[in-house]
Structure 1
Amino acid sequence: MGDKSPKSHMTTKARSLKEKRADKHAKSAAKDHIEIIPPKGKR
C-alpha cells in the first residue's frame, strides 16, 4: 500500500521563481538558435 501522508509529495525542493524564469529563457534561446552550416562546394 502506498504512503498516503500529506508530506510525501513535499520531498522535492521547490524551485524559486528566479530559477523557473532562467530555465524558460534558456529553453527559448536554445529554440531560436539557428546553426549556420556553410555549403560544401565542388573541389
Structure 2
Amino acid sequence: MSDKSPRHITSKKPGKSLKEKRAAKRAKAEHPSAVEASLHPKKR
C-alpha cells in the first residue's frame, strides 16, 4: 500500500520575527483607536 502523506513542499514566505510582532502589538496597545476605546473600555 502506498504512502498517502503529502509529498509536495510548499514554499513558505518568512513571517514576521517575534520581535517585530511584539513591537507591533505594543504600538497597537499604546495607541488604540477612538472607536476601539469607546467600544471596549478597559476592565481593571
For Structure 1 versus Structure 2, the TM-score category normalised by the shorter chain is 0.3 to 0.5
What's the TM-score once normalised by structure 1's chain length?
Answer: 0.45
TM-score scaled by length of structure 2: 0.44
